[in-house]
Amino acid sequence: MVLSLVVLASFESSLGSTLSLPARLIDEPETIIDSENGESQPSAVKEDTAPQSQADSLAVGHMEAADVVAETAKQPQKISKFDNLMKRVGAEMGYDWRFMSAIAYCESRFKEGLVSKRGATGLMQVMPIVARHFKVPVSQIHNTETNVRLACKLLNESEQRLGFPENISERDRLCIILASYNAGLGHVMDARRLAKADGANPNSWSVVSKYLQLKADPAYYTRSEVKAGRFSGSKETLGFVKLAMSKYDEYCEIAW
């Protein structure tokens, strides 16, 4: 369609002068020839379909972009540069690699060279006493694979000594194991013994966490069921378990 620039003006009758108005673009009508008298007549202005075409193109573009996003969301995502190590060691030791990754996140934020004030070392913050317990030279806990393997061995031994029944829920099992990893097996076993003595469920994390907190109270840590003494670190342990399980849930959603 041909466009022409038309300047609109209105004339003032008394002065004979003109007042110019802003120019604007308008469609120039096409002409047709009247077959009877030969005179040319303006044809109907054709509707411009370009805007609709552009809208259709944009809509298609958005749909294609949405398809790409949806397809990308279906792909597993990387958790850390240690994914392959976690998968290999986790499979050998019987633990979900994403669970191991969640522990590594909580302990070190995936920093291999991290050493705490208490001497906990590496990705999984393994203590020297753990290396000695499993007859591994303490110097080896700086090696990342050894560090992860020792953490898995500690988890596995703790689980065996806790003696969970077959009907324990998976979440309760993992939470209690995590608490043992953070607080020490002795304090968790004390909490379970106290719970059982009071008629509560020693296989429920909500119950065990309650008794871990009560172990700061002399009315509880002086009882005969307690073997590991007073425990004042329940806030840290409960926070650790909560964060680790939250990260584990997150990792299960994005990686497989």
Would you call 64 a catalytic residue per the annotation? Answer: no
Q: How far apart are the first and last CA of the chain?
A: 58
Catalytic choice (64, 107, 250, 253): 107
Contact 119, 128 (CB under 8 A): yes
What is the distance between the alpha carbons of residues 83 and 104, in angstroms, rounded to a whole number? 11
In a 13 Å sphere around the CA of 171, the CA atoms on its Cβ side amount to 8
Distance of CA 215 to the CA centre of its chain: 33
Instruction: Give residue for tokens 């469920």.
Output: 201
φ and ψ of 198, to 5 deg:
-90, 5
What is the distance between the alpha carbons of residues 131 and 114, in angstroms, rounded to a whole number? 16
* Active-site residue set: 107
